């Protein structure tokens, strides 16, 4: 397990902490502040309260998001939502099994969602449009400013909010 120190511990007051770090992380991460990774998180992460982890690339493994924390993945999310008391924002290729207890999950419009039932494209109105294996999927222009939110009680995504409202 890798523990990421607070920004004040890791960098001087004048250093930027919003620059993406290019890495491949084979161990579970524990994030306590705002971090951006360009690469792969291969064994999941725990995002502590008050922190935000942004992954530009791939996320695999268990996702644990505490209250008042955010995990954002732009690329490929094939993790298991172990606990989500904060917010997950996912864009791109998203492995997602709708179930009770997933917490606040928002997915970018036009993302490709894969479930045990198949592959689906997320429409702006929250509908899932099936993508058949024998048909080309077409181009995907995933929107990072428009998301659909998974509504647990309804077992479906609801239409278009902007990501700042999550």
pLDDT at 80: 93
Alpha carbon 75 to chain centroid distance? 9
Q: How far apart (Å, rounded) are the C-alpha atoms in residues 8 and 110?
A: 37
Q: Which two tokens stand for residue 162?
A: 């902007």
- Contact yes or no for 113/120 (Cβ under 8 A): yes
CA 112, chain centre distance (Å): 13
Angstrom CA distances, 30 to 2, 79, 108, 114, 148, stand at 6, 15, 25, 27, 27
| Consecutive H or E run containing 71 | strand 70-84
pTM above 0.85, yes or no: no
> Tens-of-pLDDT digits for all 166 residues of the chain?
433 333 333 333 333 345 566 688 999 999 999 999 999 999 999 999 999 999 999 999 999 999 999 999 999 999 999 999 999 999 999 998 888 889 999 999 999 999 999 999 999 999 999 987 665 555 667 888 899 999 988 989 998 666 666 6
- The helix/strand/coil state of 61 is strand
């Amino acid at each position: 397990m890798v523990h990421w120190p607070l920004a004040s511990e890791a960098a001087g007051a004048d250093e930027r902490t919003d620059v993406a770090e290019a890495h491949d992380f084979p161990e579970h991460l524990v994030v306590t502040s705002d971090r951006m990774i360009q690469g792969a998180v291969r064994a999941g992460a725990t995002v502590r309260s008050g922190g935000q982890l942004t992954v530009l690339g791939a996320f695999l493994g268990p996702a644990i998001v505490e209250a008042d924390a955010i995990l954002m993945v732009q690329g490929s999310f094939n993790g298991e939502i172990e606990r989500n008391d904060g917010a997950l924002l996912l864009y791109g290729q998203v492995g997602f099994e709708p179930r009770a207890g997933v917490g606040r999950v928002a997915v970018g419009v036009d993302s490709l969602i894969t479930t045990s039932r198949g592959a689906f494209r997320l429409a702006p109105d929250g509908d899932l449009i099936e993508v058949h294996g024998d048909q080309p999927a077409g181009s995907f222009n995933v929107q990072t400013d428009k998301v659909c939110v998974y509504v647990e009680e309804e077992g479906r995504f609801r239409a278009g909010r902007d990501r700042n409202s999550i």
